[in-house]
Chain A
Amino acid sequence: MTLLKPQEGDIPLPVPGVVSAPYWEGCAAGELRFQRCGTCGGATHTPATLCAHCTSTDLRWEVSSGRGTVYSWTTVWRPQTPAFEVPYVPLIVEMEEGWFMLADLVGCEHDAVHVGLPVEVTFHTHPGGVTLPYFAPRT
């Protein structure tokens, strides 16, 4: 029994931009942040200048519950680079607040994944110093 776990190798790490910096700062603080529109109330991810629903620029950072369900998944056996240990399981998670994000699955075996699996965010600080969100099955 091998549990999926965060990647520790020399993987490509995110370089935050002006718009996305609050998202990555949130991860470092253990918060999964997304943007909520002050005009229409819609949720937006990935970090943006325009609201995905109404194009308003009145976007405000909020902290997600971190809970969602698996919307789609794949198990990767041929890694992007040799730095990745296989298998790993990229997911698209539909968050409770109505937005989608992509991250890898951890904390279970690779064949435990299925569409609709309830998951919850968990953070891991890579040796390179960046804290990445992952998802684990909700217990």
Chain B
Amino acid sequence: MVGGVEVAQPGERGIGHHGLHPGVDGPEGDGLTPGEARPPHREALPVDLRAIGDPTDQDRHVEGLAPRVDGLPGLAPGPAQVAVVVEEHCEAGLGERLGERGQRHAAGRREPVAHHHARHGVVGVGPLGQPEVAFQDDAVGGGYGHDRRCGHGQMLGRGAAGRRGGARRERGAGSPMAQHPFHDVAIVGIHNTRQARVLDGHDDRTITFEAALGAIADAGLEVRDVDGVVGPLGSDFLYQSRNGPMWRSMNALGIPALLEGAMAIASGQATTVLFATGGAGSYTQRASTAPWTRPTNEFVAAYGMFTAAEFALMARRHMHLHGTTPEQMAHVAAVIRNNGHAHPDAVYSGRGPFTVEDVLSSRMVADPFHLLECAMTSEGGAAVVLTRADRAADLPNVPVHILGGGTDYYGPAYQHPPVWDLGGNQRADLVAGYVGRRAAEESFACAGLGPDDVDVCEFYDPFSFEIIRQFEAYGFCAPGEGGHYVTSGVIEPGGRHPVTTDGGTMSFSHGGAAVQLLQRVIRGVEQLRGTCASMQVEGAEVAMCTGGGAGALFTDVLLLGKERP
């Protein structure tokens, strides 16, 4: 025994071919502590699943098996890296490996794993080097997305049973699966600087750095811990801190940038990634719309286009197709602005409350959007820190995990006519009016969740109609029903799907070209931590954060959860 874990000497046995140990969860495994074992040489992998027999009634079933090393059989020492054995079961209904079970060896990750020995559980077969934590008593669930896969073929379920909507454990439905792509990632630090219409004495760099330092402090980390940066000013941050050489991304925009940082951690390119963004001092010509709303382009600029007009052309088409009304859109704006009214740090804190009539009587900007249905312009910074999930356990905040994420694009924003029916060959059944649907479907499939599981809808709200569109696009309601859906009592605080709970871009902040895109994620994290200063959704476990919109021909989706996937 080494560290409580049985190990074998190199060459002592053919590690890939030993039999299953039915009693491995029994007394001889008790009292063991999490630890590491040494690997076999890689030739020991993989395992022939078909060589191992079916589960029998003699197999032991142990209650309350926690994710820990459990005296795994077959562990073997090796020269340098970590190896573990993961046993797994496959049950009826799981396709080609019907009724089979087997063992699996994996190497390369220094973290404790559990021996999975549940009679009715399933864990996935990941790529080599990715042992996974298994949970006993995870049920194979039906439900949403059972025939879908996320991009890498993984399905992930909720480990916790008893949640409404039923057990959604779906790993193993079909082909062998890898570990969840963001299993190793946690969001541990967030920070919004002060947000205001104008932040005197700041520019993009100073407010971005303030956000960065705030998020690092919130994470309980030091600047020296950062070994990856995302965002245009990340390079400045790493230079000034002399923290290089490190991984860097120039991705600037919200969820795709965050996912890139998460992937850097998941793939081992970085351990702790900082994504900071900020805007101040760039909007000075106030007679014009903000510079980020009117990119120069030969096919739109001469016609006076800017974001409100682009999104209005999408909304108008929906009104034509489905009879969506100005009152329904104004209701969305009133709800979101009232959320901001109640938020102590919102730019428009205390500026409400607003009624539908207030919204409809505000001046028209771009028909059908009145002033109170449009994003504001403001200044501010925001930042997020991600690190490895195993490290998150030692940090002060409740870690928040990425359950799924995706990005849908139909082209560059604001250069081509924003045609609702613009299609594409990847998904002939979808149009730009529902951009984000594919991303949502894949995110839900990756998480093993569906719209009913979402507790908080931190939807990006550049214009009121976009909320209606997103509820349709993501499958919360049918196409054309979004207007009725948002006025049915579901999006208000206390409703089934409360939306944009800090006031969003209409009332919390829109601090430049990119800051506000990250702030949906920050608000989702606040909700899952349970630390919202206002409009806290009690017991929130899953938050859906989004960015973009049909008028910009893109939508990004991120599913956050409290449970490690």
Interface residues of A (CB under 8 A from B): 7, 11-17, 20, 24, 46, 71-82, 84, 88, 90, 92, 100-104, 115, 126, 130, 132
Query: Which residues of A lie under 8 Å from residue B415 when comparing CB positions?
Result: 46
- CB closest chain-A residue, reference B313: A72
- CB closest chain-A residue, reference B423: A52
A56 to chain B, nearest CB (A): 14
Consensus secondary structure, chain A interface: loop
Query: Which residues of A lie under 8 Å from residue B365 when comparing CB positions?
Result: 76-78
User: Is there an interface contact between B419 and A71, defined as CB atoms closer than 8 Å?
Assistant: yes
Give the interface segment out of B69-77, B314-322, B341-349, B506-514.
Answer: B314-322
Query: Which residues of B lie under 8 Å from residue A20 when comparing CB positions?
Result: 298-299
- CB closest chain-B residue, reference A47: B299
Cβ of B420 within 8 Å of any chain A Cβ, yes or no, is yes
Given contact pairs A78-B365, A80-B289, A90 touches B416 in the complex (Cβ within 8 A)? no
Interface size bracket, B side = 35 or more
User: Is there an interface contact between A115 and B366, defined as CB atoms closer than 8 Å?
Assistant: no
In the assembled complex, the Cα of A16 lies from the Cα of B296 at a distance in Å of 12
B155 to chain A, nearest CB (A): 33
Cβ of B226 within 8 Å of any chain A Cβ, yes or no, is no
Give the interface segment out of B259-267, B271-279, B304-312, B330-338.
Answer: B304-312
Contact with B304, one of A15, A24, A76, A130 (Cβ below 8 angstroms): A76
B557 to chain A, nearest CB (A): 25
- CB closest chain-B residue, reference A85: B304
Interface residues of B (CB under 8 A from A): 285, 287-289, 294, 296, 298-306, 308-309, 312-314, 316-317, 320, 363-368, 371, 415-420, 422
Consensus secondary structure, chain B interface: loop
Query: Which residues of B lie under 8 Å from residue A126 when comparing CB positions?
Result: 302
In the assembled complex, the Cα of A12 lies from the Cα of B302 at a distance in Å of 5
- CB closest chain-A residue, reference B299: A46
B519 to chain A, nearest CB (A): 24
User: Is there an interface contact between B419 and A14, defined as CB atoms closer than 8 Å?
Assistant: no
Query: Which residues of B lie under 8 Å from residue A13 when comparing CB positions?
Result: 301-302
- CB closest chain-B residue, reference A102: B417
In the assembled complex, the Cα of A127 lies from the Cα of B203 at a distance in Å of 37
Which residue, of A80, A88, A92, A104, has the highest number of chain B Cβ atoms within 10 A? A80
User: Is there an interface contact between B366 and A74, defined as CB atoms closer than 8 Å?
Assistant: yes
User: Is there an interface contact between A73 and B366, defined as CB atoms closer than 8 Å?
Assistant: no
In the assembled complex, the Cα of A38 lies from the Cα of B317 at a distance in Å of 31
A64 to chain B, nearest CB (A): 15
A85 to chain B, nearest CB (A): 9
User: Is there an interface contact between B364 and A75, defined as CB atoms closer than 8 Å?
Assistant: yes
A82 to chain B, nearest CB (A): 5
Query: Which residues of A lie under 8 Å from residue B296 when comparing CB positions?
Result: 12
In the assembled complex, the Cα of A14 lies from the Cα of B301 at a distance in Å of 7
In the assembled complex, the Cα of A102 lies from the Cα of B305 at a distance in Å of 10
Query: Which residues of A lie under 8 Å from residue B309 when comparing CB positions?
Result: 74, 76, 80, 90
User: Is there an interface contact between B306 and A72, defined as CB atoms closer than 8 Å?
Assistant: no
Query: Which residues of B lie under 8 Å from residue A81 when comparing CB positions?
Result: 285, 287-289, 294, 304
Which residue, of B299, B316, B364, B417, has the highest number of chain A Cβ atoms within 10 A? B417
Query: Which residues of A lie under 8 Å from residue B366 when comparing CB positions?
Result: 74-78
Give 10 CB contacts A-B under 8 Å. A13-B301, A17-B298, A72-B316, A72-B419, A74-B316, A75-B367, A77-B365, A78-B364, A80-B301, A80-B309
Given contact pairs A72-B316, A81-B288, A92 touches B302 in the complex (Cβ within 8 A)? no
- CB closest chain-A residue, reference B296: A12
A90 to chain B, nearest CB (A): 5
Query: Which residues of B lie under 8 Å from residue A88 when comparing CB positions?
Result: 303-304
User: Is there an interface contact between A46 and B304, defined as CB atoms closer than 8 Å?
Assistant: no
B297 to chain A, nearest CB (A): 8
User: Is there an interface contact between A7 and B304, defined as CB atoms closer than 8 Å?
Assistant: yes
Query: Which residues of A lie under 8 Å from residue B289 when comparing CB positions?
Result: 78-81
In the assembled complex, the Cα of A30 lies from the Cα of B416 at a distance in Å of 22
User: Is there an interface contact between A132 and B302, defined as CB atoms closer than 8 Å?
Assistant: yes
